[in-house]
Amino acid sequence: PAALSSSDKGAPRCAAYCKQETDKISNFKYSPGTTYQYRYESLTQTLVAGTGPQASRLHVTAWADITPITLCDYVLQLRDVELLESSPDDADAREAAAGAAEFKEQLEARPLQFAFQDGVVDELCPAAGDTVWALNIKRGVLSAFQNSMPDFRIDSTVYETDVTGTCETHYAHAGVRDDNLLMTKTKNLAACSHRMDHYLSVQSTHYASAATASALPLLRSNHTCSYALSYGGHLREARCTESHVFRPFSAGESGARTDVTQSLTLVETVTPDDTPDEVAADEDTTAAAPRTKAAEFARRTTLLFEHEAGAVPAGTANLETVAASLASLAARTQDGVDKESAVMFARLVADLRGLQLASLSKLFDQTEDPRQRRFLLDALPLVATAESLEAMLALWRSEQLSGAEMDSWLASIPFQARAKPEMITALLPLLDGLPRPKALLAVSALVHRVCEGRADCPAEVAEVAVVVSRLERLLGADCRALGRGETDMVLLALRALGNAGVVSSPAVLARCYESTSNPLEVRLAALQAWRRAPCEAQPSGAFLKLYMEQRLDVELRIAAYLAAMRCPSPFILRIVKDVLYAEEVNQVASFVWTHLTNLQETASPWKQTLRELVESDFLKNKFKTDVRKFSRNYEGSQFFDKLNAGVTAESNVIFSPQSYLPRSANLNLTVDVFGESVNLFEVGARLEGFESVVEGLFAKGGAFPDEGVQAMLQNLRSAPSPTADAENSIAKLSSAFDVRHRLPQEPHGEMYARVFGNELHYSRFHGLQELAENTDSFAHPMRTLMGLLRRSDVDITKSFVFLDAAYTLPTASGMPLELTANGSATLGLQSRVQKPGP
């Protein structure tokens, strides 16, 4: 039997504190040095209820030896582990499942230390080398062992964290039987937080909600447990049942469902004085049990299920099979497309994922049929492997892709659901020389995807460090640029750093936004480069310093204020309020006041922490906030608690004292659904020098000729800015000596577009001709369509995967339950025009 080794008494402690050392009364009274041997069993079965008795069943059985080292430090050792599967028709016909040997080896190899605070498993301290999946199985065992009921005599509702998530849990006293205290536990899994994980092209941010539906309601889930505890404070038996019914296509309890049952039963208690011979005489105990030994632990974690990055589903076809499938797909769509065409295309994408780079390249080389090549070009961006990215890059180098096809492929990269570091390596050649703008944005967005959930991404992922280093190299020492070409590249590099959300040289960025010799566009972009960086890395103090300097440009100060408010704190809010009431520049005061008052009224769930910081302050409106003249923040939000869903629209319109036209504006739309905030899109522009264009509209020969309006606008431009406060001596001094805004300027500016937080488009223009060229791309699809319609013969197919998602949640046994959804489509357009005969 398992017994505590004497050397373990000096092992590192997992418990950071010990509740039972300070509390006079404890519910549980396990004796240090004694091993409690439990028999553990779990059954996971998946079936379609209502269609027959057939089901897929997976059994796990083991001995679970739990040994307290101290009052709060425990060790779990699993032994005699078996992984069995049953026949679909006969639940009793069991045999070893595939991978049973490795399953047994991994679970038995390392004991698990954990902190036990009077019934609550507070922390886990796994040993080095413990795999994530093995640790999750042990989490399932300890979740059954845990009991958070404060008082066994009184029903109670508590928040409990275990392998299924952090859930509101109801404990109820169920009486006494055979000298055992009985109780039940129920929890609403739909309302649990820290539970699900998903792989989607849609990127989102989790928010906390008190709603009863805090997760996507695809499943109807129930979880109940019953406990029997001895009067001595020991768990004698725990039995848990859990069911998950797939809501779509279900009727009552019928439909696709997964049921999980667990049992943990105390069989024997072994004290340090028991000898192996004495225990061997007990027929209910295995005499060959190893000695429980507390090993050095590698890290600390909790009972929460640890999600692993899933592998991209791939086919097993070889090159010849894929080539045959491709030919069949092309032949089937020769005279039109149907439902089977989309299925065949989805299968082609999966098969391509299983091919190596050499096979992909060979496949392209030997495919000469235009229709087959079209299907390959449609499929390759969807394969989402490093090999497919390298293959696309090779096609671009060999000029087999047009510029439009290349840009379309680059725009799809940020939406990879399962980004891997090796994918970054495959794209590094795109950063050589003078990279394409869309290449910089695409690679940096992929970096952000890879870095999600990593505390120190450049240190953990070497590929990320390489990309960030190359981007920062484009900035030089302080973003100083000679000529428009260098300025464009500096701005693109700053935008890419903002996309990545990783900064390794904050001093360089500081010099970029602090240097007065840099153009205002560069200084603003340097502040925006921090937009996705974690709060602990952001120099909020430097942002506040810029905001407090009233001699600086209005746009720069507002940008610094917004940068500081990305990571708010009571200290930051106090500084902001003090500066606001002493503010001399009305443009800044108007924007800050409207932003803070909007925060006080916001319904957006991800802004509630910030709302709590500002809602207690009474903000006097002593500022001019005329929407026609002054900078403002606009926000409209609605949130429905019962549905746990809402929407937020926000816009910033910023004026400058140098113009009667807004200098910049943006629009941001965010949707909140079931605990996830999705930033659908953000568009914005910054424009200068359009006064002459607006005035020309009212001149003779303009679209709206009116000499009175034209004269009024010209007076506004030549007089001191009407947007400056009359009492602002600094603004009047600037207006008297800075005559740049009085001189004719060529219209110029910049525009950007973001989807799911990823910047996909950024462009600058100088002059109306370049502006027309930038906006001309939006008319390009219509011109292409009109050109096709003029042709006598048209035969076009376009295939794509519009849905590739995986939704993963933990079960009580520590095994994941994964739902996948895939959708593909093939569109066809065919037309024939026959010329009339003579």
- pLDDT value for 281: 42
- Number of structural domains, the chain? 2
Residue at a domain's end among 233, 250, 280: 280
Task: Check pLDDT > 60 for residue 588.
Answer: yes
Q: Which one has a higher pLDDT value, 19 or 729?
A: 19
Residue at a domain's end among 280, 310, 336: 280
DSSP 575-603: HHHHHHHT---HHHHHHHHHHHHHHHH--
Q: Is residue 274 part of a domain?
A: yes
Q: Is residue 147 part of a domain?
A: yes
> Model confidence over 540-553: pLDDT tens digits?
999 999 999 999 99
Q: What residue numbers bound the domain in which 157 lies?
A: 34-195+214-280
CATH number for 141: 2.30.230.10
State the helix-helix crossing angle for 483-500 and 520-528, rounded to 10 degrees: 20
> Model confidence over 676-704: pLDDT tens digits?
788 999 999 999 988 877 777 777 667 66
Q: Is residue 62 part of a domain?
A: yes
Q: Is residue 64 part of a domain?
A: yes
Closest CA to 323 of 350, 353, 346, 352: 352
Give percent of the chain above pLDDT 70.
78
Structure tokens at 202: 């849609």
Task: Check pLDDT > 60 for residue 276.
Answer: no
- pLDDT value for 289: 47
- pLDDT value for 117: 93
- pLDDT value for 209: 63
Give CA–CA dist 390/422, Å, rounded.
11
Which of 135-144, 149-158, 368-377 ranks highest by mean pLDDT?
135-144
Phi, psi dihedral angles at 587 (to 5 degrees): -60, -45
In this prediction, residue 3 has a pLDDT band, given cuts at 50, 70 and 90, of: very low
- pLDDT value for 375: 87
In this prediction, residues 561-573 reach a mean pLDDT of 93
Chain CA centroid to CA 510, Å: 28
Q: Is residue 102 part of a domain?
A: yes
Residue at a domain's end among 254, 280, 306: 280
Give CA–CA dist 114/300, Å, rounded.
9
Q: Is residue 611 part of a domain?
A: no
284 three-state secondary structure: coil
Q: Which one has a higher pLDDT value, 534 or 286?
A: 534
Give CA–CA dist 267/236, Å, rounded.
8
Q: Is residue 1 part of a domain?
A: no
Q: How many residues in total does the chain contain?
A: 838
All residues at 6 or more sequence positions from 556 whose CB lies less than 8 Å from its CB, including other chains: 513, 520, 523, 524, 527, 546
Q: Is residue 175 part of a domain?
A: yes
| CB distance 256 to 267 below 8 Å | no
Angle at 61 between CA 60 and CA 65, to 5 degrees: 125
| 108 to 25, 48, 114: CA distances (angstroms) | 35, 34, 16
Structure tokens at 303: 């009972």
Q: Which one has a higher pLDDT value, 248 or 277?
A: 248
